[in-house]
């Protein structure tokens, strides 16, 4: 990996993070209504439905704009894991039910993105766990997923989650868990397991979830974005 590519990648993601800090601080849209930043969805290989939870990111963006006066574009972006578009987004959402396969080049590209200041949110839409863990090992062979303590800032603001992640869908009936990968002390990947935040962000009529469950899922998503731009 060239030093120039590493510096360019870090500059690109850092610029997006600066934009995020700006819109959180200013609480206004720029240029008479334009948006400061867009959320991205990860497109990966292997046959898993990376495109599921189609309304999730739009609703999360709208919720944050309404509740935190942010300026997030409600139209999601799609980033191929091995391409340069990955570096256009400070937050990348990865979801699905099935198989996940990263090539070595894709794993290196994702690692560069995360080392450069980007953030990956993995949402197990059920059945993804046994596939995504070994693929993330290709990205960070030296790291292990660690359960994030409830005292971590990501559970504190702007909404309080003293018991950790909300339980959106039952799946195997296990307690929801939030796992993280920490690179040089920084949380670079948040993995919600047995929670299914992405489904909780979907249009209300998709699953007809209890309104309070859906609200708590959106609030947890807002916490995640708040954490990214504050830390």
SS (H, E, C) 64-104: HHHHHCCCEEEEEEEEECCCHHHHHCCEEEEEECCCCECCH
- Report the candidate in 147, 139, 153, 165 with the shortest Cα–Cα distance to residue 220: 165
Task: Give the chain's mean pLDDT.
Answer: 89
Residue 10: per-residue pLDDT:
53
Residue 34: per-residue pLDDT:
81
Q: Does the global pTM surpass 0.85?
A: yes
Count H helices and E strands in the chain, helices first.
7, 7
Residue 2 reports pLDDT greater than 80 = no
Residue 82 domain boundaries: 3-230
How sure is the predictor about 13, in pLDDT bands with cuts at 50, 70 and 90? low
Residues 211 and 63: their CA atoms lie apart, in Å, by: 14
Check: CB of residue 103 under 8 Å from CB of residue 138: no
Residues 123 and 220: their CA atoms lie apart, in Å, by: 12
Residues 154 and 222: their CA atoms lie apart, in Å, by: 10
Structure confidence by residue, pLDDT tens digits, 108-133: 999 999 999 999 999 999 889 999 99
- Tell me the CATH number at 103: 3.40.50.12140
- Report the candidate in 148, 184, 144 with the shortest Cα–Cα distance to residue 164: 148
Total domains in the fold of the chain: 1
Check: CB of residue 200 under 8 Å from CB of residue 224: no
């Amino acid at each position: 990996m060239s030093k120039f590519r590493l510096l360019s990648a870090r500059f690109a993601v850092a610029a997006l993070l600066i934009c995020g800090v700006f819109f959180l601080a200013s609480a206004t849209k720029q240029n008479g209504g334009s948006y400061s930043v867009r959320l991205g969805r990860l497109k990966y290989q292997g046959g898993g439905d990376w495109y599921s939870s189609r309304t999730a990111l739009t609703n999360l963006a709208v919720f944050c704009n309404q509740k935190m006066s942010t300026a997030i574009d409600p139209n999601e972006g799609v980033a191929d894991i091995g391409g340069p578009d990955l570096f256009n987004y400070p937050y990348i959402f990865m979801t699905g039910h099935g198989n996940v396969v990263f090539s070595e080049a894709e794993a290196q590209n994702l690692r560069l993105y995360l080392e450069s200041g980007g953030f990956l949110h993995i949402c197990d839409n059920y059945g993804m766990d046994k596939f995504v863990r070994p693929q993330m090992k290709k990205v960070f062979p030296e790291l292990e997923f660690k359960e994030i303590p409830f005292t971590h800032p990501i559970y504190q603001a702007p909404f309080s989650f003293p018991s950790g992640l909300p339980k959106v869908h039952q799946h195997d009936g296990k307690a929801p868990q939030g796992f993280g990968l920490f690179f040089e002390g920084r949380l670079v990947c948040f993995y919600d397991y047995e929670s299914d935040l992405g489904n909780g962000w979907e249009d209300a009529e998709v699953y007809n979830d209890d309104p309070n469950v859906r609200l708590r899922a959106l609030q947890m998503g807002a916490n995640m974005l708040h954490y990214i731009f504050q830390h």
